[in-house]
Chain A
Amino acid sequence: MTSQLATLVAVLIFPGGLFALVLGLALKGADRRVAARLQGRVGPPLVQPFFDLIKLGFKRTMVPTEASETVFLAAPLVGSVAMLIGAALVPIAGVYAPDTQLGNLLVLLYLLAVPGICLMIAGSASGSPYGAIGFSREMALMLAYEGPIVLIVAAVGMRTGMAEGHWVTFSLTEIVRYQQTHGWFLFDPILWPAVAAFAFFYPANLGIVPFDIPEAETEVLEGPLLEYSGPALGLFKVMSALKAVVVLGLGIALFLPLPFTGPLAFVGWLAEIIVLMLVGVTALRVSAGRMRIDQAFVFFLKWPLLLAIASVAAVALAAGGLS
């Protein structure tokens, strides 16, 4: 009973739910502010995403007559809930370790695919041609980046698992604990291809320039989100804020968890996630142009996939050399 209560708290309050939502929206606000400064503007206040969300709550939700209403309204809800649970599956080194009952890295991988699928469903259910274009682009992009992420996770899991004396581990907690004693995987040359592949994966997953092709405002008018208004659009904003926390949190857990415990670990984790957001997301998105979908598709099937395969092979060979 107490473990169920703890799981509920983890999903709804900390580190999922409320905490992840506030952190995600604050990260989005910092992103917009810093992007404006980099472009020589003043920019919106840091709490702007909160204002946006409150505003969307006061607006009317319109459902197009061509849309399939149930699916149209359910898509953002499903996506947000998936990310809510996903946020509870990401460990914070020295502060929080997810309950094994809730799921492991494989469950997190499935949950990470849900927002993309929800965007696809939303685009096709909205009955708008721009939504349909967004749907096809999102699908092409997902097909391209889902392969590398599975291989990245497999490489990190194998590296940890083989060092600990078994085959492969899919427990993020174990991966974090191993790095806390043996140092970051970021500095492990065998996993450098995996780090590089992850650096290509997360902008595509978060849908930022240069890989924001499905939601390109200037081409397909935000594609799947075109027909959404009011609270339903707000739920999509919630979903993308939570996703930023989940994906960046996953990156930290896989490659650079801090070896501290207690309050220091928590503050350090916050600092890491903010730095990753500002350097990895903001600086990237203001300095790059958007790729075409065919370019992005070929790019992902070429470099990140190759790097991820190289990483798995390197880990396997290194383990073979060890034994």
Chain B
Amino acid sequence: MTFINRLKDFAVKSPWLYRINGGSCNGCDVELATTACIPRYDVERLGCQYCGSPRHADIVLITGPLTRRVLDAARRVYDEIPDPKVTVAVGVCPISGGIFRESYAVCAPIDQYFPVDVNVPGCPPRPPAIIEGVAKAIAIWRQRL
């Protein structure tokens, strides 16, 4: 049992990230994909790898207020991610709808559709906040392994 736990402690050092854009204005995506995940802040030192396929993902980051158009596609992609997985909602839009709140075209808050584990509020959140969100998601993921 302790051996399995040791292995899980090693496994948790390899969280692969996947990003779903739920109709975001791209503000959070810029902070997430081009600032927090790439050279400036370098999440690869935490073992994170940015992957193109949902099947490879461990931590899924959702941005945007989830527009009606994208709802079905986002849910299908989410189901493609193998368990155990952790969901991080990036930005204020997934929490409340942000500036798009009460629009007929959005489905926010997204926790009606996805089991959100970590919220990273902000419009957009600063890259260190996103990285902290990922770090919290890793701690939750360790319990699920």
Contacts and interface: CB of A to CB of B under 8 A. Distances in A.
A54 B10 contact: yes
B134 to A, nearest CB: 14
A145 interface: no
Given A42-B42, A59-B82, A221 B52 contact: yes
Interface stretch (A151-159, A225-233, A259-267): A225-233
A166 interface: no
Contacts of B145: 58
Given A36-B44, A44-B47, A61-B82, A227 B7 contact: no
A229 B42 contact: no
Interface string B40-54: 001011110101110
A41 B56 contact: no
B42 A36 contact: yes
Given A51-B10, A54-B10, A217 B52 contact: yes
Would you list the 10 A-B pairs with minimal beta carbon distance, nearest first?
Answer: A221-B52, A229-B55, A55-B14, A55-B11, A51-B14, A42-B45, A41-B42, A60-B82, A51-B13, A52-B14
Centre residue among A45, A55, A217 by max chain B CB count within 10 A = A55
Interface residues of A, number: 32
A105 B55 CA distance: 37
A230 B13 CA distance: 16
Interface of A: 32, 36, 39-45, 48, 50-52, 54-55, 57-62, 217-218, 221-222, 225-230, 233
A226 B53 contact: yes
A1 to B, nearest CB: 35
A286 to B, nearest CB: 12
A48 B14 contact: yes
Contacts of B84: 58-59
Interface string B84-110: 100000000000000000000000000
B7 A54 contact: yes
A51 B11 contact: yes
14 contacts: A36-B44, A36-B45, A45-B47, A52-B49, A54-B11, A55-B12, A55-B58, A57-B7, A58-B145, A59-B83, A61-B82, A222-B51, A225-B53, A225-B56
Given A36-B44, A54-B10, A58-B145, A218 B52 contact: yes
Given A44-B46, A218-B52, A222-B52, 13 more contacts: A45-B45, A51-B14, A54-B14, A58-B8, A61-B82, A62-B80, A221-B53, A222-B51, A222-B56, A225-B53, A227-B53, A227-B55, A228-B56
A226 B44 CA distance: 21
B52 A51 contact: no
Given A41-B39, A43-B42, A222-B52, A48 B47 contact: yes
A52 B49 CA distance: 10
Given A58-B8, A221-B53, A51 B47 contact: yes
